[in-house]
Structure 1
Amino acid sequence: MPTDSDTSPSAARSILRERRFLRLWCGTTASGLATWALPFVLGLAVLDRELTAAGLGIVLATRTVGFLAAVPISGVLADRYSRRAVVWWAGLAAALATPFIALGLGRSVPLMAVAAAVVGAGQGACRPAFQALTAEVVDAGRRRQANAAMTLAVRVTTLVAPAGTALLAALLNTWWLLIGTGLLWLVAAVLPPRALPAPAREADGARFFAEFGEGVREARRHPWFLAGLGALAAVIFTGYSATGVALPLVSRDRYGTEAVLAAALTAYTLGALAGALLVARWQPRAQGWAALAGLALYGFAPLSLLLPVHPAVVFAAYALAGLGIELFNVPWFTATQREVEPRLLARVSSLDFLVSYGLAPVGLAFLAPAIDAFGWQPVLAGCALVCFLAPAAAALAPSSRGFSRPGKP
């Protein structure tokens, strides 16, 4: 497939040389490191008997609740006011709340839970604001490379955060590691640049639900968006849940070692890194269909757990799943930034994050009882089938071929 000038390797390399985008990228990376490091730091606290396993579950659950509650609110605020200001206040809130998690460690789980909810809210508020800010900082012709760089940073943090936390744990105690995640949130708040002048946004006193509803109506104007979001939700509800619940069980019961679990997750991350690098340089003609085909590759993950295959097959399947998710993510984000009305972009992005992230814990909650009731083989077969069929069904929607409304490039 041919590529155009904005997807050339030189363009992909030079996007990180632009000072404004580099600041935004570093801020996003800092927030990602803080997000991924916190569960591992708290896990170390469990090992050190400073926190119980039940306490860990409560703290992480309240963080998720804070995230989901803040995403739609942030979408409205980031469209009504400055997106840079939303990032500042969200990062600052997470930075100021983090020391209270450290303060409650070994003393008060309720204090830790409340603080974690604020940190989660800061994380959730940043996501749609960062997405909309990228569209303001980067011109339309370079957003594909910008989004690829952003998702590349996310995947690198999934490797660096656990390893970095483990290394630092040899030098610092849990309290200081928690303070370190707070400092990362402060970096995330301070670094992103002010956006270029943007189209005027409404700043009236309309109620929150009315303004969020306007974002929902904008999303409904794009059949490809609704179809793609439905496919993504189905894959997360099934495929992601299979990874979270079934993979540890299969690793333990079939292969007799947790090494298969660790290696499969590492293969997934490496596949995602490869996908981000590939999609930065390759733009197919039917980019929407190619993205949905990439999303369907996630079906190989639960499929590889279904039969007694060599562990290498499981690793390859998870690498394919990681590759495919980035072949979907980057065109998806880029198309959203291109097609959605700029003044509504944060609200539509918040709807995206709310559905995709919101269904993840629901799927995890449902999968374990389903395995107990029906057995893991029928459940995994169903998960694989949904992962293959949902993107195929989304490809039938009008405008899904190019993730673009008729008449637009």
Structure 2
Amino acid sequence: MSSPFLLRHGAFLRFWLGQTASSLAYQMLVVGIGWQMYDLTDSALSLGLIGLAQFVPQLLLTLVAGHVADQYNRRVIVIVCRLVLAGTMGGLVYANLSGQLSPAIIYVCGALMGATRAFESPATQALLPNLITPDQFPRALALTSGTREATVIAGPALGGLVYLIGASWLYGASVVFFLVSALVLLSLQYEYQAPRKEPASLKSLFSGIHFIRDNPVVLGAISLDLFSVLLGGATALLPIVARDILHTGSWGLGLLRSAPALGALLMSIWLARFPLEKRVGKTMFYAVALFGLATIVFGLSQNLWLSMGALLVLGASDMVSVIIRSTLIQLETPDAMRGRVSAVNYIFIGTSNQLGEFESGITAAWFGVVPAIIIGGIGTLAVVALWMKVFPALTHRDKLSS
């Protein structure tokens, strides 16, 4: 079971607790900042600009952040990032209490969050393999991924409840969670070897891209995720599906939104108990194919419970792909390169999610909602078939660790 695994690995336990506290804080903030911005502006555009304010610095700084993660102590980087996030939320608390809060302040805080997370994400991803052995990595990744999905479900609900007391209380709670996550990591001990310092240069910044290009297993795994998410981003159309096709209200939309996260959570629990050991390459392709089939079923469904079931399967199959892809990327990459490779992977994940939502919106406008979802599912199946031929090293990969 997962709890004995946590107890046997003290360093990983502290890492996991820190991740849980930080993820919960962020998921609460998503609700609070969006709700307060809409209260201030009554504008849907302003909500989109919050996302843009976070995404732009993430995109611009990620390659630099990957270089930093490979040059300095990753634990220290994560601690500093979480302290900066706590300070940023403290600024929102002060602005609320003093009556000075404005949309501009929220945008600035959003940009600071995006910049900070650009440095935090590659450092966090590259730190985990330093805490455990390669054979323990899939189980540890399943636990952290499952916890993240749990916070995706619980965080917004908790944030909404706390926001009823007041926005300052929500931001204050986030400050506490970020501080807890930083303090937990202060006591994290592991064998740290200072890396050989390498001056920043274009060659160094782009070395992560070059490494991925020259490694067919890593390139195949990352690009498969990019195109499958790009084509299969049906969840962006959930509000339209809920109202116009399933004829349900906000409660039904809430159930639909939580279904993929619930499926991913249940699958992560299973994988933590029964880690993948053989035929991982084909398993990854089968999982992405199941993702595409579940997308097609969701597009064809006119029943709320069938749609929820399809989304549950979609989330579970995506979790299998995420665990295999993330494990292969981390274990195939030398430790000295993990920060930069994780940074490139972070760019691909963020880009695929953003562009996937855009693609779904465009195809829905052109062809209609149902055809757009079905086309996306079929496209995902086509990508799987093509990638199995183009990346035979990934297709025939047997074990996660080489």
TM-score (norm 1): 0.88
Greater shift after overlay, 365-374 or 324-333? 365-374
Q: Paired residue for 2:370, among 372, 377, 399? A: 377
Change (3 A) 1:265 1:92: same
Change (3 A) 1:104 1:289: farther
Question: Helix, strand or coil: the match of 1:306?
Answer: helix
Which residue of structure 2 aligns with residue 329 of structure 1?
A: 322
Distance in 2 (CA, whole Å) between partners of 1:188 and 1:103 is: 22
Equivalent residue runs for 1:50-129 within 5 Å? 50-53=40-43, 54-103=45-94, 107-129=101-123
Judge conservation of contact 1:251–1:257 (CA < 8 Å) in 2. Answer: yes
Judge conservation of contact 1:300–1:320 (CA < 8 Å) in 2. Answer: no
Judge conservation of contact 1:98–1:119 (CA < 8 Å) in 2. Answer: no
Which residue of structure 2 aligns with residue 355 of structure 1?
A: 348
Displacement, 1:391? 2.8
Distance in 2 (CA, whole Å) between partners of 1:323 and 1:40 is: 24
Q: Paired residue for 2:360, among 364, 367, 375? A: 367
Q: Percent identity?
A: 23
Distance in 2 (CA, whole Å) between partners of 1:322 and 1:38 is: 23
Which residue of structure 1 aligns with residue 252 of structure 2?
A: 260
Displacement, 1:202? 2.9
Question: Helix, strand or coil: the match of 2:197?
Answer: coil
Q: Paired residue for 2:270, among 267, 278, 289? A: 278
Distance in 1 (CA, whole Å) between partners of 2:28 and 2:78 is: 20
**2:7 maps to 1:14:** no
Change (3 A) 1:140 1:320: same
Question: Helix, strand or coil: the match of 2:206?
Answer: helix
Which residue of structure 2 aligns with residue 142 of structure 1?
A: 136
Which residue of structure 1 aligns with residue 333 of structure 2?
A: 340
Per-residue CA deviations over 1:1-32 (Å, capped at 9, x if unaligned) read xxxxxxxx5xx442211221111001111221
Distance in 2 (CA, whole Å) between partners of 1:139 and 1:296 is: 30
Judge conservation of contact 2:85–2:178 (CA < 8 Å) in 1. Answer: yes
Per-residue CA deviations over 1:76-97 (Å, capped at 9, x if unaligned) read 1010111112112211222212
Distance in 1 (CA, whole Å) between partners of 2:166 and 2:176 is: 16
Change (3 A) 1:183 1:121: farther
Change (3 A) 1:158 1:405: closer
Which residue of structure 2 aligns with residue 210 of structure 1?
A: 203
Displacement, 1:203? 1.0
Distance in 2 (CA, whole Å) between partners of 1:69 and 1:104 is: 28
- The residue identity in structure 1 corresponding to 2:376 is C
Judge conservation of contact 1:104–1:112 (CA < 8 Å) in 2. Answer: no
Judge conservation of contact 1:86–1:126 (CA < 8 Å) in 2. Answer: yes
**2:306 maps to 1:313:** yes
Judge conservation of contact 1:224–1:394 (CA < 8 Å) in 2. Answer: no
Greater shift after overlay, 136-145 or 281-290? 281-290
Per-residue CA deviations over 1:279-313 (Å, capped at 9, x if unaligned) read 22132421121022212322244313432532222
Judge conservation of contact 2:139–2:275 (CA < 8 Å) in 1. Answer: no
Displacement, 1:402? 5.5
Judge conservation of contact 1:228–1:292 (CA < 8 Å) in 2. Answer: no
Question: Helix, strand or coil: the match of 1:381?
Answer: helix
Judge conservation of contact 1:250–1:305 (CA < 8 Å) in 2. Answer: no
Change (3 A) 1:399 1:341: same
Distance in 1 (CA, whole Å) between partners of 2:34 and 2:112 is: 19
Change (3 A) 1:254 1:45: same
Displacement, 1:372? 1.7
- The residue identity in structure 2 corresponding to 1:153 is T
Change (3 A) 1:271 1:99: same
Displacement, 1:224? 1.6
Displacement, 1:61? 2.2
TM-score (norm 2): 0.90
Across the aligned residues of Structure 1 and Structure 2, the Cα RMSD in angstroms comes to 2.4
Question: Helix, strand or coil: the match of 1:257?
Answer: coil
Which residue of structure 1 aligns with residue 228 of structure 2?
A: 235
Displacement, 1:199? 5.1
Change (3 A) 1:198 1:289: farther
Question: Helix, strand or coil: the match of 2:392?
Answer: coil
- The residue identity in structure 1 corresponding to 2:69 is A
Distance in 2 (CA, whole Å) between partners of 1:255 and 1:376 is: 12
Judge conservation of contact 1:200–1:343 (CA < 8 Å) in 2. Answer: no
Q: List gaps (5 residues or longer) in structure 2.
A: none
Judge conservation of contact 2:25–2:174 (CA < 8 Å) in 1. Answer: yes
Displacement, 1:134? 0.6
More helix per residue: 2
Distance in 2 (CA, whole Å) between partners of 1:95 and 1:104 is: 14
Distance in 2 (CA, whole Å) between partners of 1:180 and 1:142 is: 33
Change (3 A) 1:152 1:337: same
Displacement, 1:200? 5.1
